[in-house]
Amino acid sequence: MTPQSILAELVADERISDPAGARGRLLREAARLFREKGYERTTVRDLATAVGIQSGSLFHHFRSKEAILKAVMVETVLLNTELMRHAVKQATTADERLRALVLCELEAINGQTGEAMAVLVFEWRSLSPESQRDILKLRDIYEQLWLDVLGELRQAGRLAADPFIARRLLTGALSWTVTWYRPDGPRSLDTLADEVMAMLGMTSPVTTSS
């Protein structure tokens, strides 16, 4: 399955919004505004103006501004979890599975869900405790994919670090790429994934023979 077909399947199952639909466009603009202005400084009027509707029309889709924030977070976690799950299934070795996870997360952070992923990190405290618990349940599923693969590598003697610590360090390193990685620069995300694997001692980055 391609990323597009995985997205289409999630939309068909009504697990996430159609990006081309009114709700999907609203969530995309909300992610952008929450990232640029911050959740607290973004008004309902800002959100409505961004998608070209009246402020009151927002509440045909969501009961509150916080519900919009929660939906941004829920849908990006669901989408990226499914993309990662599929990538892991396609890999044949533990090393390949880890690289697949690394690449998927790099694409999530620096690609189409980048703004939503940033909102997930930086606007976490804006959620109510109940909403935080709901998001944490989804995040636990997402994180377990990493811990399972890292645990497999540890058991095989391919990873010396504790899987939990390794994942936390990788989270910080991969998340920080949004501050310096440039899609039009000399390295693709695919190449960057190879560099991460080399840093972990899993594989060596591809070099040009002389």
Q: What is the pLDDT, as a whole number, of residue 84?
A: 96
53-67, 74-88, 141-155, 171-185 — which is least confidently predicted?
53-67
The values of phi and psi at residue 202, to 5°, are: -85, -45
d(C-alpha 164, C-alpha 147), whole Å? 7
Q: Are 143 and 166 in contact (CB under 8 A)?
A: no
pLDDT at 39 over 60: yes
d(C-alpha 198, C-alpha 192), whole Å? 10
d(C-alpha 191, C-alpha 103), whole Å? 9
One-letter-per-residue 3-state SS of 10-54: HHHCCCCCCCCCHHHHHHHHHHHHHHHHCCCCCCHHHHHHHHCCC
Give the tens place of pLDDT for each residue, 14-27. 899 999 998 999 99
Give the tens place of pLDDT for each residue, 80-97. 999 999 999 999 999 999
- Tell me the pLDDT of the chain averaged across its residues: 91
Residue range 118-137: average pLDDT? 94
10 Å CB burial of residue 165 (0-12, 13-18, 19+) is exposed
User: Where does the pLDDT of residue 112 fall: very low under 50, low under 70, confident under 90, or very high at 90 and above?
Assistant: confident
Give the tens place of pLDDT for each residue, 131-154. 999 999 999 999 999 999 999 999
User: Where does the pLDDT of residue 208 fall: very low under 50, low under 70, confident under 90, or very high at 90 and above?
Assistant: very low
Residue of 68 and 61 predicted with greater confidence = 68
Q: Report helix, strand or coil for 111.
A: coil
Percent share of the chain, pLDDT over 70: 96
Residue of 2 and 33 predicted with greater confidence = 33
pLDDT at 203 over 70: no
Give the amino acid at 96: E
